[in-house]
Structure 1
Amino acid sequence: MKPTPLLAAIALLSTTSHAKTWLLPIPQSVEWTGYQLQLDPDFHIEGASNLYVHEAAQRYHKLITKERWIPYQKNITEITPLKNRQDTLKTLQISVEDAHAKLDFGINEAYNLTIPDSGGKATLDAATWVGALRGLETFSQLIIEDEGTLVAHSSKIQDEPTYPHRGIMLDTSRNFYSVESILRTLDAMSYNKLNVFHWHITDSQSWPLHLEMHPELAQKGAYSPSQIYTTADMRRIVQHAQSRGIRVIPEIDMPSHTASIAESHPHLVACVNKDWEVYGAEPAPGALDPTKNETYALIEDIVSELADIFPDSFFHAGGDEVNSHCWADDETIGPYMKEHGLTTDQLWAQFEDKVGSIVEQNHKRAMIWEDAIVVAKADLSKNVAVQVWTTTPENIIKLGHDIIHSSSDYFYLDCGGGGWVQNDQRYISPDQKATPGDTFNYGGTGGSWCAPYKTWQRIYSFDMTKGIKKQSGHGQVLGGEVALWSEQSDETVLDAKLWPRSSAAAEIFWSGSYDKSGKRRVLSEVWPRMNDWRFRLLKRGIGAIPIVPQWCLSAGTSCLI
């Protein structure tokens, strides 16, 4: 008899029914012993010689004792009681092979964690200090409160990430986010073992970025003097991220999405203040003039200053949504294109090649959105990593570029929120229209170009390897990112927009879409852990939205189809 989804879920959960804790992201290998150990009153963590590991050990020790976690998800199946040992768990011994490894792309994050059923000493062995941070997070999830006593679930865990790049992209131009809200996001990322904060700092709407070499950009292009990221702010964010094992990759979007530069350098930006429906992707069209040497001089200054502030080896140079009319209709660029026999796409490709050289000269590896490769057919260095958001990823890989998954069909967290362009007649109800036809309100997208809303279930169902063949050299899947574009988001809704949906992405980025045996990860296995994880995030100060009625948490399988 073929099992129904409900029976399959119960059968799967029964294989681990002796464990009363839910781990997320799920480790690559977990062996439960069936025992639990009381945490000794003098429990402590030893061996954390690296500064960040030492700070994390102190942080997690406080978290465990303050959190006193009691699982919310209950009554799924009859749980075999864990056996108790008389001996307590007295210490967690951390051993790090490389305590001085540079936090950068490809750093080894593997760790082994053992909590013996005999009590005494648990061990956390990691290849690098970053791996130790990941192991400490897992250890914290293994400690719960049982009848008023903190206990550790005896287990043996071997774990490492499937992908080295696991990120969140946050747009801070369209609406501003305080430094404190960004730091809180970094904390939440560390709980989920996400390791890349892709900071889309600037865009057409505002330039909130202070640069010592060009202070006029923020002075003229920011929304207000209080909505500017200073050099100290940027360094604070980088330092906080570093302490959590998170890389920060800055993005300066160009040549398009640069109308904010025109506030201080109007002669370097085309089609500003023109009809956005003709000249841009959304209100505030604008694209840098690729024919002027001064444009590249400004880019060199921006990249060189940020290269000093952001230590990561990657630099994101944008490269999306160049509008052909913007350049072709410009009184300077249009004649230049005709004189040199260039199409918009050819000029665009030249621009990307020059920007790539500037990035390389600053000892960074360029990352761009797919558009320059897919639309402009730019033949760029294979060292350029491509962030895929609409195209079929294997098409980029076949060209020899490494990719980062950010499919708008799965990973765009702003989708489904309706439109934001004002006075749009398509919102009018059918009975108020002069002519019949669908509207955004009835049978439409609600005004969201990438509707529907991306649920955590949809995100989790993404196959990171579909249609992609393994090969050597360039042309690899580096990982993935969820993206929060901020036309309708700011810090007041940041947590709710990100969590726990980003947790679903975090698991397939860390654990992979398939387990080590090649079995596809499915919703019937993850939903109890997601239900519980949302409440743990709340306990840790992250305003994650509810994903089920609270009744479902104690109703067993009653909320399943």
Structure 2
Amino acid sequence: MGFGRVTTLPKTSSQSCISVHTFTIIRVEEMALKFLLLVGLFFVVTDVIAQESVKQLQKSTRQESPWAWACRNGRGCVKVAKDLPVEEGDNLDNPTLAGCKLTCNAESTLWPKPRSIISLSKTLVSFHPTDIRINRISAPTTKVKSLTNEAIQVLRSVIRKSIPNTQRGRNQTAKEPQRPHINIQVSIVSGDERLEMATDESYNLHVETIFATAATPASPRSTTSVSITATSFFGARHGIETLSQIMAWDDTLGAMIMLTDANISDSPAFVHRGLLVDTSRNYVSVPVIKKIIDAMSYDKLNVFHWHLTDTHSFPFVSTREPRLSLYGAYSSAKVYRPEDIKELVHYATVRGVKIVPEFDAPAHVGSGWEWGERAGMGQLALCVNKEPWTTYCVEPPCGILNPVNDNIYSVLSNIYQDMRDLFVSDIFHMGGDEVNFACWNETAEIIDWLKTQGRTDKSKEDFLYLWTYFQNRSLAEVDKAYDNKQPIVLWTSGLTEDGHADKYLDKSRYIIQIWTTGTDESIAQLYRQGFKLIMSNYDAWYFDCGYGQWVGDGPNNWCSPYIGWQKVYENSPSKLIVNFNETYNPRQILGGEAAIWSEQVDSTTIEGKLWPRSSALAERLWTDPDTTWRAAEHRFNHHRERLVQRGIQADALQPEWCHQNDGYCFLESN
């Protein structure tokens, strides 16, 4: 559009007036636009000047803290006044809180504590996240190399989370010549891409810093060399996590700091170190599950046991049997679709975690199974939502599969095939607990079938026979789906009690997960029979215990009281066996899991109920230390702070004063 263009056509006086008027309006609009731009620029410049003035004012008014932290023998890091004498033996070589925490104890702030060779320096160097460089990743396959690159990106993310929001993006105060180049080299031997019980998770971490001096003009900056070697990617990932824990943000220095030198050779005490998360009773969102996996990776926990379905809801979207989630999910938004599960499996693998699916049967079913008769397949599940529920199941709503309906096995086959397609696990959990015989005992179809088998007493043995029939046919469908005979996990139940597990179950196929108390005689019986065991005794490792009653009149739920981290830490699977006067065989005790059943937990509350207690579980299963919780208390308290720093909503353990004054927050025993 040409503002000054004049037409050559003859104009009337009115046309001339209109043309001049239009030109005048356009010029006014142009001037107004320029004015607004100038005003806007003025405010931007003013805001920048104001912000800079605030920064300068903050710098000029910021006063040096009167406090320092001394490493005190028999205590740990203790807050002391800079202008007062310190106690004899106090060490002030690293007087900031972060510096003291990293160097005061032999294990630094590492969690879980390494169980093998460990040598850590007492000196520190400051750095900026951009100083970290990957020199080389040596791996036998491109897939393993890709996983390692992703694990390094997780490390960078963790470091960024360590820096307060107000400091991110700002220039840190570490002077350029003092800041080292941090060169990381990772070497992996095996091409294994999936975590199995036989996977070697050991690693070696070597850190060495060479400081720049006048004698080394070719290297004007210091160099910190980091070498991580491991048999498998999963061991290397653990080494990367350990590296992240010898680093910290130092508020006083306004910079990241790390140990100058370290030498660690480490490996886990148990191959199975897990958490069970129930997402049926209450739905847990995919982003929250990712946060749980994040926290597991910080603790070197390696099994996410996913209790996907139960009688309350069926959120698993089965490609082959879509009616299950259609009928059984709480809503179309509260489901786990195949793409969700694939994403979670990869996310977990990068973080050293294996997702083990559980499909619990024949009990713990109900919602989602109502469509059988409508589809002409008969009753797939019996006594669904039947009352009074106390007669037919352990909690409402009730339901149990119909073992004598052949159609149930084709449906189960489809579920197992879907799970095979989605999960990458060397074990499969078939549940199998809390089977109440009352419903089967009242079902004519069941009683008639038992008669054909020559069983007319309706005795406990008759129903154990029926249960075993179901278990064997279901197992055959699992084997067909997976095209192999991989290990199967079952809960302790009526099939395993009274010392007759070997009558019903093959110890070469079945791993038994213990959920009774840690003193239950069935543990010793199963152990003597040669079964491999996973410990989840509810009196120490059920994290839903100790909350209010949700059915009935009692003030607390069934497994109260609340289980503190100290009891979690002291629950040693190896000692449980020794307490039965048995000789401990590490090949039989695979490890353990803590469980969070979700009657009273969902996405908004689950993190605080899991952490930091899951961290106590993690050190027990990684290190299995001979020492008690008291020896771990200072590191544990600090690790909780680190979890929060990394975005995990972990419950507080003590007042923050205790974290700043190690060793002063406990009662002396009489």
Question: Equivalents in 1 of 2:584, 2:636: separation in Å?
Answer: 34
* Per-residue CA distance 1:179-217 (angstroms, 9 max, x = gap): 111111111111111111111000001111111111111
Matched residue, 1:4: none
Q: Match of 2:425, as an amino acid?
A: D
TM superposition shift of 1:59: 2.4
Correspondence 1:288 to 2:288: no
Change in CA separation of 1:328 and 1:528 when aligned onto 2, cut-off 3 Å: same
Correspondence 1:206 to 2:313: yes
* Per-residue CA distance 1:238-260 (angstroms, 9 max, x = gap): 11111212111111110001112
Superposed, which structure 2 residues align to 1:170-185 within 5 Å? Answer: 170-185=277-292
Question: Equivalents in 1 of 2:225, 2:125: separation in Å?
Answer: 11
Calculate percent identity across the aligned residue pairs: 34
Could you tell me whether the CA contact under 8 Å between 2:569 and 2:629 is conserved in 1?
Answer: yes
TM superposition shift of 1:58: 2.3
Could you tell me whether the CA contact under 8 Å between 1:195 and 1:246 is conserved in 2?
Answer: yes
TM superposition shift of 1:35: 2.6
Between the two structures, name the one with larger relative contact order (CA 8 Å, sep ≥ 6): 1
Return the index of the structure with the highest Cα Rg.
Answer: 2
Q: Which stretch of the first structure deviates more once superposed, 27-36 or 242-251?
A: 27-36
TM superposition shift of 1:338: 4.2
Change in CA separation of 1:66 and 1:247 when aligned onto 2, cut-off 3 Å: closer
Matched residue, 2:655: 549
TM superposition shift of 1:117: 5.0
1:36 to 124, 131, 140: 124
TM superposition shift of 1:454: 1.3
TM superposition shift of 1:379: 2.1
Could you tell me whether the CA contact under 8 Å between 2:274 and 2:592 is conserved in 1?
Answer: yes
Change in CA separation of 1:26 and 1:89 when aligned onto 2, cut-off 3 Å: farther
* Per-residue CA distance 1:228-282 (angstroms, 9 max, x = gap): 1111111111111112121111111100011124322261112223221111011
Superposed, which structure 2 residues align to 1:181-330 within 5 Å? Answer: 181-265=288-372, 267-274=379-386, 275-330=388-443
Whose helix fraction is larger, Structure 1's or Structure 2's? 2
2:536 to 406, 410, 430: 406
* Per-residue CA distance 1:308-347 (angstroms, 9 max, x = gap): 2112121111100000212111121133234431621221
Matched residue, 2:241: 137
Could you tell me whether the CA contact under 8 Å between 2:75 and 2:662 is conserved in 1?
Answer: no
Superposed, which structure 2 residues align to 1:435-514 within 5 Å? Answer: 440-441=554-555, 446=556, 448-466=557-575, 467-468=577-578, 469=582, 476-512=588-624, 514=625
Change in CA separation of 1:117 and 1:524 when aligned onto 2, cut-off 3 Å: farther
Matched residue, 1:352: 471
Question: Equivalents in 1 of 2:157, 2:506: separation in Å?
Answer: 48
Correspondence 1:45 to 2:134: yes
* Per-residue CA distance 1:277-308 (angstroms, 9 max, x = gap): 11101111111111121122211111122112
Could you tell me whether the CA contact under 8 Å between 1:209 and 1:230 is conserved in 2?
Answer: yes
Matched residue, 1:394: 524
For structure 1, list consecutive stretches of 5 or more residues without a partner in the other structure. Answer: 1-6, 70-84, 427-439, 515-519
Could you tell me whether the CA contact under 8 Å between 2:317 and 2:324 is conserved in 1?
Answer: yes
For structure 2, list consecutive stretches of 5 or more residues without a partner in the other structure. Answer: 1-71, 79-88, 92-102, 139-144, 165-176, 211-222, 374-378, 456-460
Question: Equivalents in 1 of 2:350, 2:623: separation in Å?
Answer: 23
Q: Match of 2:224, as an amino acid?
A: G
Matched residue, 1:94: 186
C-alpha root-mean-square deviation of aligned residues, in Å? Answer: 2.6
Could you tell me whether the CA contact under 8 Å between 1:270 and 1:288 is conserved in 2?
Answer: yes
Could you tell me whether the CA contact under 8 Å between 1:30 and 1:156 is conserved in 2?
Answer: yes
Question: Equivalents in 2 of 1:168, 1:534: separation in Å?
Answer: 18
Question: Equivalents in 1 of 2:237, 2:160: separation in Å?
Answer: 18
Moved over 6 A (4+): 11-16
Change in CA separation of 1:205 and 1:20 when aligned onto 2, cut-off 3 Å: closer
Q: Match of 2:609, as an amino acid?
A: K
- SS at the partner of 1:541? coil
Could you tell me whether the CA contact under 8 Å between 1:271 and 1:330 is conserved in 2?
Answer: no
* Per-residue CA distance 1:399-441 (angstroms, 9 max, x = gap): 22111111101111111112112xx3x3xxxxxxxxxxxxx34
Question: Equivalents in 2 of 1:227, 1:470: separation in Å?
Answer: 47
Matched residue, 2:62: none
Matched residue, 2:114: 27
Question: Equivalents in 2 of 1:196, 1:553: separation in Å?
Answer: 30
Question: Equivalents in 2 of 1:276, 1:197: separation in Å?
Answer: 31
Matched residue, 2:56: none
Matched residue, 1:524: 630
Q: Match of 2:444, as an amino acid?
A: E
Could you tell me whether the CA contact under 8 Å between 2:135 and 2:183 is conserved in 1?
Answer: yes
Question: Equivalents in 1 of 2:254, 2:107: separation in Å?
Answer: 15
Could you tell me whether the CA contact under 8 Å between 2:307 and 2:357 is conserved in 1?
Answer: yes
Normalising by the residue count of structure 1, what TM-score does the alignment of the two structures yield? 0.86
Matched residue, 1:369: 491
TM superposition shift of 1:106: 2.1
Question: Equivalents in 1 of 2:366, 2:131: separation in Å?
Answer: 59
Could you tell me whether the CA contact under 8 Å between 1:112 and 1:158 is conserved in 2?
Answer: yes
Question: Equivalents in 2 of 1:139, 1:357: separation in Å?
Answer: 45
Matched residue, 2:15: none
* Per-residue CA distance 1:497-537 (angstroms, 9 max, x = gap): 1110101001111112x3xxxxx121111111111111111
Question: Equivalents in 1 of 2:430, 2:607: separation in Å?
Answer: 27
How many residues of Structure 1 are paired with residues of Structure 2 in the alignment?
Answer: 512
Change in CA separation of 1:35 and 1:8 when aligned onto 2, cut-off 3 Å: closer
* Per-residue CA distance 1:59-78 (angstroms, 9 max, x = gap): 21342254149xxxxxxxxx
Q: Which stretch of the first structure deviates more once superposed, 182-191 or 13-22?
A: 13-22
1:151 to 242, 257, 261: 257
Could you tell me whether the CA contact under 8 Å between 1:190 and 1:244 is conserved in 2?
Answer: yes
Question: Equivalents in 1 of 2:382, 2:160: separation in Å?
Answer: 58
* Per-residue CA distance 1:33-90 (angstroms, 9 max, x = gap): 3332343763323323511111111221342254149xxxxxxxxxxxxxxx978353
Could you tell me whether the CA contact under 8 Å between 1:30 and 1:158 is conserved in 2?
Answer: yes
Q: Match of 1:178, as an amino acid?
A: S
- SS at the partner of 2:134? strand
Could you tell me whether the CA contact under 8 Å between 1:87 and 1:120 is conserved in 2?
Answer: no
Change in CA separation of 1:97 and 1:555 when aligned onto 2, cut-off 3 Å: same
- SS at the partner of 2:306? strand
Question: Equivalents in 1 of 2:179, 2:657: separation in Å?
Answer: 37
Question: Equivalents in 2 of 1:174, 1:87: separation in Å?
Answer: 52
Question: Equivalents in 1 of 2:137, 2:564: separation in Å?
Answer: 39
Could you tell me whether the CA contact under 8 Å between 1:12 and 1:525 is conserved in 2?
Answer: no
- SS at the partner of 1:495? helix
- SS at the partner of 2:332? coil
Q: Match of 2:119, as an amino acid?
A: E
Change in CA separation of 1:380 and 1:54 when aligned onto 2, cut-off 3 Å: same
Question: Equivalents in 2 of 1:131, 1:327: separation in Å?
Answer: 48
Question: Equivalents in 2 of 1:331, 1:460: separation in Å?
Answer: 49
2:152 to 30, 35, 57: 57
Question: Equivalents in 1 of 2:405, 2:529: separation in Å?
Answer: 30
Question: Equivalents in 2 of 1:412, 1:138: separation in Å?
Answer: 28
